[in-house]
Amino acid sequence: MRASTFRRLLNLWPPFLCNSIRVLSLDEHYTEARVVLRLRLWNRNYVRTQFGGNLFAMTDPFWMLLILHHLGNDHVVWDKAGTIDFVAPGRADVYAHFKLEPGVLEELRAAAAHGDKVLRWFEVQVKTAGGDVIAVVRKQIYIRQKPRARQN
């Protein structure tokens, strides 16, 4: 699927659409994504800052989706674990930029080549437009080559 089409579909996904989360860009090679969480009356918490659940939701699927796109149907790719460190209150719109470094995909593919389970942590910072860090989200991704594709 073209990245532009996939980006539009993600923007219509109810957890994003209803919480003012928008995918601003998804590059054609599926190696970078930029996401914004707009601060609205319906998605802020009691103290009028970004709701923590939405901060996590805006980052939730991207590492898994970017990696899955590259490894394809020969691999199982899942989110295994996640953590969020709230650094400062989000009193404005916040942004996350995901970027898969060039060698990471080859490392993952090689590590999973014989059916071994691969666990790798990825991190993204959630920032204001001015660059202030609001939260740091870490996701552990599980990767394993499917039995039919394994090299014996």
CATH number of 3-149: 3.10.129.10
- In whole angstroms, what is the distance from residue 86 CA to residue 59 CA? 14
Q: Among 3, 89, 7, which Cα is nearest to 50's?
A: 89
151 pLDDT exceeds 70? no
Name the percent of the chain lying above pLDDT 70.
Answer: 99
How long is the chain? 152
Angle at 46 between CA 21 and CA 129, to 5 degrees: 40
For the chain, the structural domain boundaries read 3-149
Find all residues with CB under 8 Å of 49, minimum gap 6, and list them.
39, 89, 90, 91
Residue of higher predicted confidence among 33 and 1: 33
- Locate 143 and state its tokens: 């990767």
pLDDT per residue as tens digits for the range 123-142: 999 999 999 999 999 999 99
- In whole angstroms, what is the distance from residue 79 CA to residue 77 CA? 7
How far apart are the two ends of the chain, measured CA to CA in Å? 31
- In whole angstroms, what is the distance from residue 54 CA to residue 64 CA? 18
Q: What is the pLDDT of residue 83?
A: 98
